[in-house]
Structure 1
Amino acid sequence: MGTAPAEARHFTTHQTWNLLGFLLKRSAFPVDIVFGEEPVPEADAWGYEPPRYLTAERVRLAADRLDRMTYDELIRGVDHAELASAEVYPQIWDSPTSLEWAGDLFTPLTEFFRAAASAGHAMVIWLD
């Protein structure tokens, strides 16, 4: 059994990163929790690109906003054709239940941010 999200020092969104980013941007989420916001100075690529980070203040803001939303609210009104048109990765949007796929990660993601915010931590973010 793995570490609970609230106790973890690392969290992965697996292949849901692009969907979560799309949904959060669509909802005018104030923090870029998928790609990060500030470049890590002089960092080499850790995957697709160099890592970025969120300050402790931005982690706190993200945690607060995540605590006040549900995944059902996040996907409300999302059209599968909109996801396909935006080429959201991975391109699996032909099924009516495909949006449910990332829902299982939303609560652990919220718990991870809440724990980091409670500890006053900044966060390093990268895609690999």
Structure 2
Amino acid sequence: MVYDSTRALDGVVTASVEEPTVGRNHYRVGVRLRDDKPLSILFTSAVFLVAGAEQQDPHMIHSVFVDVPGWEIYRRAGLRVATTAELNQPLHERHLQLLTEEERRDVSYHQPSRLGDLLFNWFD
């Protein structure tokens, strides 16, 4: 899907899929669009959600979210596509209602401030 959506926008995939690892709960793929701006496409399998983010130092924990380029392809495949506005909204108690007790402890400890930081997180 990343290749299809990027090609549709005359862009290229610049980095292979990075799988979730310690300090990152999501997949990440680097792309560069025709405007030559490097972006990352993020995917979290826990909720079948796709997001876009500016590429940055891989050790930075707070993503700068952007709208997903070529989002239609992901939606047609049955994935939910998060908007910048959704991901940047402040985290509220209603966002935590479906979390397990362990996940709530992680939130309490790490104190993410935005919904996007919860969904695409750096927790241990």
Give the number of the structure with larger relative contact order, counting CA–CA contacts within 8 Å between residues 6 or more apart.
Answer: 1
Name the TM-score, length of structure 2 as normaliser: 0.28
Name the TM-score, length of structure 1 as normaliser: 0.27
Structure number with the higher strand fraction is: 2
Structure number with the higher helix fraction is: 1
